[in-house]
Amino acid sequence: MSDHSMERAEQPELEPEPEPDEIFIRPACLADDRILARIDHAGWSPRTDPGEHWSADRPFFGAPTGTTVQDVLVAWQSEIIVGYITIRPELGPFGDWYIAGLAAAPAAHRQGVARQLVRAALDRAAQHDGHQVWLKVLSTNVPAIRLYLSLGFVELSRTRGSFRQRPGADDLRLARSLRGLPTEFVG
């Protein structure tokens, strides 16, 4: 065996490349605006949103949404953004951190994107001394409710018939404690 081949054999193996379908979470940046707006627009449904469908050209950050870049985490897979979650400190009767939005690109549904985003949001709130994370969800958004319940959220409030334009859709408030204490109505 030559000295050259001996050197090659003694080199440590490099870390394997991540699997192409592995999902990574990172903070959003302003350059993500257009893709997040497209994901948000594609995720709209009367089953999931009480409002009217907005323009696909509406910016994701700033006016009129009020979403700020520092409140958003994005999921990416194979170098493509496939989802987002908006979480911010917001003290209310249901907790002190609020999940204001969650969406996965249609092509990324049922791949664990939303689950990883919610877990990352819970971690962010806990790292900032949050006590309880809360969110709003329509009762007609059954897949989202199942996800939240599987991650330890509990229903704290239900307002029946809240939306004239969405008959049969109740307005729910779910919350999850971050401190191992029972989830509670804090208002």
Q: Which domain CATH number covers 97?
A: 3.40.630.30
> Residue 67's beta-bridge partner residues?
62
* Residue 64: domain span: 22-177
Domain count, the chain: 1
Average pLDDT for residues 70-84, to the nearest whole number? 95
pLDDT at 6: 45
pLDDT at 25: 97
Task: Determine, yes or no, domain membership for 3.
Answer: no
Residue 10 confidence class, pLDDT cut points 50, 70, 90: low
| 16 vs 184, higher pLDDT | 184
Task: Determine, yes or no, domain membership for 187.
Answer: no
Task: Determine, yes or no, domain membership for 76.
Answer: yes
CA separation, residue 166 to residues 48, 99, 117 (Å): 10, 22, 27
Task: Determine, yes or no, domain membership for 87.
Answer: yes
pLDDT, one tens digit per residue, over 86-119 is: 999 999 899 999 999 999 999 888 889 999 999 9
pLDDT at 38 over 70: yes
Task: Determine, yes or no, domain membership for 13.
Answer: no
> What is the DSSP secondary-structure string of the chain?
--HHHHHHHHSPPPPPPPPTT-EEEEE--GGGHHHHHHHHHHT--TTT-SSPPPPTTS-SSBTTTTB-GGGEEEEEETTEEEEEEEEEEEEETTEEEEEEEEEE-GGGTTTTHHHHHHHHHHHHHHHTT--EEEEEEETT-HHHHHHHHHTT-EEEEEETT--TTSTT--EEEEEEESSSSPP----
* Least confident interval from 12-26, 79-93, 130-144: 12-26
